[in-house]
């Protein structure tokens, strides 16, 4: 029996997930909801199943779902996850999982109480490059983590507004923060500088277009993550310097440097988003949370680093993660 899936939010990333789920044998999309009702209807027309317009609560009650994909912008998380969890439904939640720690922690607690299968969509973890980096650095003493996300400006209007998206450090660079945490462990302290320097003429823009964040990890390792949304952008990736090995990687390229020389590998064939959905659907089907590489609680921890960075950029003071 296929896992029956409903969507809340049928925009850009939702459609990418829908295209993947359509190729996954044990998944079946049966219901769609979006405040823009035409988007829910368009998804239902394309992938089969019913549109519930803007009424996700009705969808949870009537669609016979086994799981929900929540693909909302950061500002739009209200009770969509809470009602799904009340209905006992497993959750796949796009990153960043919320705009505030209060909302994220409320949902985290509800998920823990209900014990439903849950995933925060940090798909970088499913890349082969991430697996190789983890394997290469296992047992090594990590000293320094450098990361960068030099993207352009996404076309959606909410993204450029700080009170809707949280800015690039929350929105996109969260992938790099999550990878840094995956490899080097939890973060203890954050200090940041951010500015809107160049893109001041862009309509409605209030997010910084440049920023840099210093990290101190609980292990004592240190890091820096730098980002910009000034087009055309450059690269996204990380360098991790350990005692015996240095690893340089992004989503597709991996380089390992050690006293035995330099090894490079390139990853292409299976898209990480596809793999992430395969794992989620299998986890729901088998009721096995261990298949999921990033649970909701992990998403809360990665969110906390971005929120601390934003707070530090405003106050000018370092922020302890324990205070966020």
Ligand X SMILES: NC(=O)c1ccc[n+]([C@@H]2O[C@H](COP(=O)([O-])OP(=O)(O)OC[C@H]3O[C@@H](n4cnc5c(N)ncnc54)[C@H](O)[C@@H]3O)[C@@H](O)[C@H]2O)c1
Residue entry with tokens 């505030």: 100
Looking only at residues 210 through 269 of this chain, which bind ligand X when binding is defined by CB under 6 A?
none
Among 30-38, 133-141, 225-233, 314-322, which window interacts with ligand X (CB under 6 A)? 30-38
What's the closest the beta carbon of residue 144 comes to ligand X, in angstroms?
A: 26
Closest to 78 in 3D by CA, of 35, 30, 36: 35
Which residue's CB is nearer to ligand X, number 72 or number 256?
A: 72
CB of 321 to ligand X, least distance (A): 22
Q: Assess 167 for contact with ligand X (CB under 6 A).
A: no
DSSP 96: S
Q: Which stretch binds ligand X (CB under 6 A): 34-42, 194-202, 211-219, 220-228?
A: 34-42
Q: Which two tokens stand for residue 36?
A: 């823009």
Alpha helix (H) residue ranges in 24-137: 37-47, 56-62, 80-86, 101-114, 128-137
The C-alpha torsion from 5 through 8 and 13 to 19, rounded to 10°, is 30
Closer residue to ligand X, CB minimum distance, 3 or 164: 164
Q: How far is the CB of 71 from ligand X (least distance, A)?
A: 5
Among 42, 50, 76, 199, binds ligand X (CB under 6 A): 76
Question: Which residue's CB is nearer to ligand X, number 12 or number 220?
Answer: 12
The pairing of strands 319-320 and 187-195 is antiparallel
Which one, of 126, 131, 208, 133, lies nearest residue 171 by Cα? 208
Judged by CB under 6 A, does residue 178 bind ligand X?
A: no
Residue from 49, 73, 166, 223 that binds ligand X (CB under 6 A)? 73
- Nearest of 149, 18, 31, 34 to residue 80 by alpha carbon: 34
Question: Is residue 11 a contact point for ligand X (CB under 6 A)?
Answer: yes
**3-state class of 69 per DSSP?**
strand
With respect to ligand X, which residue has the nearer C-beta, 72 or 194?
Answer: 72
Query: Residues binding ligand X: what is the number (CB under 6 A)?
Result: 24
Per-residue mark of binding to ligand X, 110-149 (x: CB under 6 A): -----------x-x--------------------------
* Binds ligand X by CB under 6 A, chosen from 31, 59, 71, 184: 71
Binding mask 84-103 for ligand X (x = CB under 6 A): ----------xxx-------
Specify the residue, 9 or 208, whose C-beta has the smaller distance to ligand X: 9
Backbone CA torsion sign across 207, 307, 309, 9: negative
Beta strands across the sheet bearing 246-249? 261-266, 253-258, 246-249, 236-242, 142-150, 222-228, 210-217, 187-195, 319-320
Q: Which residue is nearest to ligand X (CB)?
A: 11
Angle at the Cα of 281 from the Cα atoms of 50 and 49, rounded to 5 degrees: 10
Cα separation, 184 vs 57, whole angstroms: 39
Is residue 13 a contact residue for ligand X (CB under 6 A)?
yes
Which two structure tokens, joined as six digits, stand for 12?
Answer: 């850009």
59 is a contact residue toward ligand X (CB under 6 A): no
Residues lying near ligand X in the complex (CB under 6 A) are found at 8-14, 33-36, 39, 71-74, 76, 94-96, 121, 123, 156, 171
């Amino acid at each position: 029996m296929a896992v029956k899936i409903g969507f809340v939010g049928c925009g850009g990333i939702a459609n990418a997930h829908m295209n993947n789920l359509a190729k996954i044998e044990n998944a079946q999309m049966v219901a769609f909801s979006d405040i823009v009702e035409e988007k829910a209807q368009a998804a239902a027309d394309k992938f089969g199943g019913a549109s519930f317009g803007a009424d996700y609560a009705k969808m949870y009650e009537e669609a016979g779902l086994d799981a929900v994909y929540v693909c909302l912008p950061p500002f739009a998380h209200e009770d969509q996850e809470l009602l799904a969890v009340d209905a006992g439904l497993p959750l796949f939640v796009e990153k960043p999982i919320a705009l505030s720690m209060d909302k994220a922690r409320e949902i985290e607690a509800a998920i823990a109480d209900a014990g439903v299968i849950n995933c925060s969509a940090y798909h970088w973890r499913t890349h082969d490059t991430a697996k190789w980096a983890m394997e290469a650095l296992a047992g090594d003493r990590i000293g320094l983590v450098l990361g960068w996300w030099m993207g352009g400006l996404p076309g959606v209007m909410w993204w450029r507004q700080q009170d809707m998206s949280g800015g690039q450090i929350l929105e996109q660079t969260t992938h790099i923060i999550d990878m840094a945490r995956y490899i080097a462990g939890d973060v203890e302290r954050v200090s940041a500088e951010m500015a809107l320097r160049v893109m001041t003429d862009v309509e409605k823009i209030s997010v910084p277009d440049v920023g840099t964040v210093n990290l101190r990890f609980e292990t004592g390792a240190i890091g820096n993550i730098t980002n910009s949304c000034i087009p055309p952008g450059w690269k996204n990736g990380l360098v991790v310097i350990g005692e015996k090995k240095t690893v340089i990687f992004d989503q597709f390229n991996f380089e390992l440097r050690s006293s035995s020389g330099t090894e490079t590998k390139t990853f292409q064939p299976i898209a990480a988003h596809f793999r992430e959905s395969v794992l989620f659907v299998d986890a729901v089907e088998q009721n096995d949370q261990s298949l999921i590489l990033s649970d909701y609680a992990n998403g809360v921890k990665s969110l906390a680093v971005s929120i601390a960075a934003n707070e530090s950029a405003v106050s000018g003071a370092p922020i302890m993660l324990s205070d966020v």
